Amino acid sequence: MSDCIFCKIVVGDIRADVVYSDDQVVAFRDINPQAPVHVLVVPRRHMESIFDLEEGDGDLLWAVFRAIREVAEREGIAERGVRVVTNVREEAGQSVFHLHFHVLGGRRMAWPPG
């Protein structure tokens, strides 16, 4: 989508601190980190949220979760613990309407989330 900030990061029109990419997924550091490690894993294809996934998206989902694990390993948090979050719609805290998974770690997490 032409006005989507994450689509612009995916194609390189907006700079980001990219830590992983493959043919389906890009992962980059969150500009406003909430933990020592805070990376966003984003499918290259635009969709608003997990609610837009379809039956044929199994390969894409595998690529996303493979990337999440790869990022966690590269960032050195895979063994300690990782929180993976996706916010769906505004009341849940979604502010960028291109599907993304927050990968957080490097500190002890609280529950319930705020």
- Residue 65 host element (H or E): helix 58-74
| Span 20-39, contacts to ligand AMP by CB under 6 A | 28, 30-32
Q: Known catalytic residue: 98?
A: no
Asked if 45 and 68 count as a contact pair (C-beta separation under 8 A), the reply is no
Instruction: Give phi and psi for 100, each to the nearest 5.
Output: -155, 150
Tell me the C-alpha distance between 25 and 111, whole Å: 29
Binding residue for ligand AMP, selected from 7, 87, 106, 109, defined by CB under 6 A: 87
Binding residue for ligand AMP, selected from 94, 106, 107, 109, defined by CB under 6 A: 94
Using DSSP, state whether 18 is helix, strand or coil: strand
By CB under 6 A, is residue 10 in contact with ligand AMP?
Answer: no
Residue 20: half-sphere exposure toward Cβ, Cα within 13 Å? 22
Q: Which is closer to ligand AMP, CB of 24 or CB of 87?
A: 87
* Tokens linked to 36: 């020592």
Q: CB under 6 A: which stretch of 43-51, 52-60, 66-74, 92-100 binds ligand AMP? A: 92-100
Q: Which is closer to ligand AMP, CB of 58 or CB of 113?
A: 113
Q: Which is closer to ligand AMP, CB of 21 or CB of 87?
A: 87
Q: Active-site residues: which are they?
A: 100
